[in-house]
Amino acid sequence: MPGEFDLEPNGVSLTKRLTVPSAEDILFHPQEVKNGFVRLVDYMGGDESVLYAATGGVGRECIVDESNLSNEEIYRSMIHNGVYNPFKFVQLKLHIEMPISSALFWVYIEKFKINEYSARYSVLLDKVREINKDELIKSIVYSSVLDEKNKEVAAENAIRVINDTIKHTRCSYDSMIGAGFSRELARICVGLGNYTQFYLSANIKDLLSTVKIAKKRAVESPDLIEFADAIEYVCEQVAPAVTKT
């Protein structure tokens, strides 16, 4: 869990590659959200590496009247003119924990590289997303018929049933494992509220594009916007000017 990570497992080492102080400050530190966390475990590049990639290693010096242009303005001009490849020189690797229901969005993005802690091969995480009564009240099918008091009673009854079901499915999973069933078969009974963890590697352009999509879909899944905000925050610490573009 977040508090158990060794922040410097290999000690402190010096590097001559580009480092970003704000990224170094959050490196290995989980950015906790209500239903999980996002942790930056590695990065390559930053705002300056985009400029060097775009100018063949020369940097701002080769840009006419560069003193009058901010990094954000240069990046906007690049995007306006269809110059995207230099942004790929900023790479991030994230360690993420979230409910399976949320992970289904992130792990199937084609441009991401994913290494998942999967219940197919490993012990199922003993953690399940808590049911939020307010969220449940909003989703009750007959919300237009029930008054507020009855909505709350219906939500409480539903939460009781859901929690009982969660306990039952966990017991079923453990029983199947104990009986010698394969993890692939035992996980059939696991619900989407169970947690999973995975490592996600991507360039900052693809990450930020996906963050925008996630925020548009936040109405369908409340967790999406929390994780999108956390990922965007991490991106901003690595390359603030690129993130604001």
List, for residues 95-108, the tens digit of each pLDDT value. Answer: 999 998 899 899 99
Which has the closest alpha carbon to 199: 44, 84, 40?
Answer: 40
**Cα separation of 172 and 174, whole Å?**
6
Identify whether the C-beta of residue 157 lies closer than 8 Å to the C-beta of residue 221: no
- State the burial class of residue 202 (Cβ atoms within 10 Å of its Cβ: 0-12, 13-18, 19+): buried
Instruction: Give the residue-averaged pLDDT of 119-137.
Output: 72
CA-angle at 30, arms to 29 and 31, nearest 5°: 115
H-helix or E-strand spanning residue 36: strand 36-44
CA-angle at 236, arms to 115 and 214, nearest 5°: 60
Instruction: Give the residue-averaged pLDDT of 211-233.
Output: 88
What is the model's pLDDT at position 122? 74
Confidence category of residue 210, pLDDT binned at 50, 70, 90: very high
Instruction: Give the residue-averaged pLDDT of 143-164.
Output: 68
pLDDT in tens, 154-189: 777 777 776 777 777 777 777 887 888 777 777 777
